[in-house]
Structure 1
Amino acid sequence: MRIKRLLFFCICVSILLTLFILFPPLKTRSSSSSSYSSPPLRQYPARFAYLISLSKGDVNQAKRLVYAIYHPGNHYLLHLDAEASDGEHEDLTQFIAVESVFREVGNVWIVKKSNIVTYRGPTMLANTLHAMAMLLKACDWDWFVNLSAADYPIITQDDLIYAFAALPKDLNFVHHTSHLGWKRNKRAKPIVIDPGLYSDNKSDVMWLPMQRSLPTSFKLFTGSAWTVLSRSFAEYCVWGWENLPRTLLLYFTNFISTPEGYFQTVICNSKLFKNTTVNHDLRYITWDNPPKQHPLPLGLKDYRRMIISSSPFARKFKEGDLVLDRIDKEILKRNPNNAFTYGGWCGGRIGRVCRGGNLRNSYGMLKPGPGGRRLRALLRKITLPSSLRKQQCR
Structure 2
Amino acid sequence: MMRPRRLPPCLAAAILTATAVAVLLLSASSPGGALLASRQSPPPPARPEWGPGRPPSFAYWISGTRNDSRRALRLLRAVYHPRNRYLLHLDAAADAAEREAMAEAVRGEPAWREFRNVDVVGEAYAVDRTGSSALAAALHGAAVLLKVGAHWDWLVTLSAADYPLVTQDDLLYAFSSVPRDLNFIDHTSDLGWKEHERFEKLIVDPSLYMDRNTEPFPGTGTRPMPDAFKIFTGSPWVILSRNFTEHCVYGLDNLPRKLLMYFANTAYSVEAYFQTLICNSSDFRNTTVNGDLRYFVWDDPPGLDPLVLNESHFQNMVNSSTAFARRFEEDAPVLKKIDDELLNGSSVQLVPGIWCSNLSKEQGRMDVESCLKWGDINTVRPGHSGEKLWRYISTISQTRGCS
TM-score (structure 1 length as normaliser): 0.90
Gaps of 5+ in 2: 1-9, 32-42, 363-367
Q: CA deviation at 1:63?
A: 1.5
> Of 51, 55, 65, which residue of structure 2 is paired with 1:45?
55
Give the counterpart of 2:224 among 213, 218, 238: 213
Identify if the C-alpha distance between structure 1 residues 276 and 97 changes in structure 2 by more than 3 Å, giving closer, same or farther: same
Partners of 1:38 and 1:300 in 2: CA distance: 39
1:269 aligns with 2:280: yes
Cα distance, 1:151–1:15 mapped onto 2, change above 3 Å: closer
Matched-pair contact (CA < 8 Å) for 1:21–1:129: no
Kept in 2: contact 1:298–1:316 (CA 8 A)? yes
Match of 2:200 in 1: 189
In the alignment, which residue of structure 1 is the partner of 2:22?
Answer: 25
Q: Aligned AA for 1:393?
A: C
C-alpha deviation, 1:41, in angstroms: 6.3
* Residue in structure 2 matched with residue 358 of structure 1 by the alignment: 373
Match for 1:131: what amino acid? G
User: Could you say what the CA RMSD is over the residues aligned between the two structures, in angstroms?
Assistant: 2.1
Q: Residue 83 of structure 1: CA displacement?
A: 1.8
Aligned-partner Cα distance in 1 for 2:372–2:397: 36
8 Å contact kept, 2:125–2:212: no
Number of the residue aligned with 1:8: none
Q: CA deviation at 1:51?
A: 0.2
Residue 84 (structure 1) aligned to one of 87, 94, 98: 94
TM-score normalised by L of structure 2: 0.88
The letter of the residue matching 2:388 is R
Classify 1:209/1:228 alpha carbon distance in 2 versus 1 (closer, same or farther; 3 Å). same
Amino acid at match of 1:319: E
Among 130, 135, 151, the alignment partner of 1:125 is 135
Give SS of 2:202's match.
strand
Q: Contact 1:18/1:250 (CA < 8 Å) preserved in 2?
A: no
Distance 1:363 1:14, change over 3 A: closer
Q: Deviations over 1:128-161 (max 9, x none)?
A: 1111111111112000000000000000000000
Change in Cα spacing, 1:339 to 1:18, as seen in structure 2 (3 Å) is closer
Q: Where does residue 280 of structure 1 map in the other structure?
A: 291
Tell me how far apart the structure 2 counterparts of residues 83 and 262 of structure 1 sit (CA, whole Å). Answer: 25
CA distance in 1, matches of 2:21, 2:302: 35
Instruction: Report the Cα offset of residue 89 of structure 1.
Output: 1.3
Structure 2 CA distance for partners of 1:52 and 1:216, relative to 1, 3 Å: same
CA deviations over 1:89-118 (Å, ceiling 9, x no partner): 121111111111111110000112221111
AA matched with 1:26 = V
- Check conservation: 1:36, 1:105, Cα contact below 8 A: no
More helix by share: 1
State the identity %.
42
Residue 166 of structure 2 corresponds to residue 152 of structure 1: no
1:383 Cα offset (Å): 1.2
Matched, 1:393 2:398: no
Q: In 2, distance between residues paired with 1:334 and 1:254?
A: 43
SS in 1 for 2:245: helix
After TM superposition, give the deviation of residue 351 of structure 1 in Å.
5.0
For residues 14 and 115 of structure 1, do their structure 2 counterparts lie closer, same or farther at Cα, with a shift above 3 Å needed? closer
The aligned counterpart of 1:317 is 328
**Alpha-carbon contact 2:182-2:289 (below 8 Å) kept:** yes
Q: Is the 8 A contact 1:342 1:354 kept in 2?
A: no
How many residue pairs end up in the alignment? 375
1: CA distance, partners of 2:85 / 2:225: 39
Residue in structure 2 matching 1:253, options 253, 264, 287:
264
Q: Which of the residues 275, 284, 291 maps onto 2:302?
A: 291
- Deviation track 1:238-265 (CA, whole Å, cap 9, x = no partner) reads 0021111011111011110011000000
Residue 27 of structure 1 aligns to a residue whose secondary structure is strand
Question: Stretches of 4+ moved more than 6 A in 1?
Answer: 34-38
Q: For residues 295 and 75 of structure 1, what CA distance do their matches in structure 2 show?
A: 28
SS of residue in 2 equivalent to 1:192: strand
SS in 2 for 1:115: coil
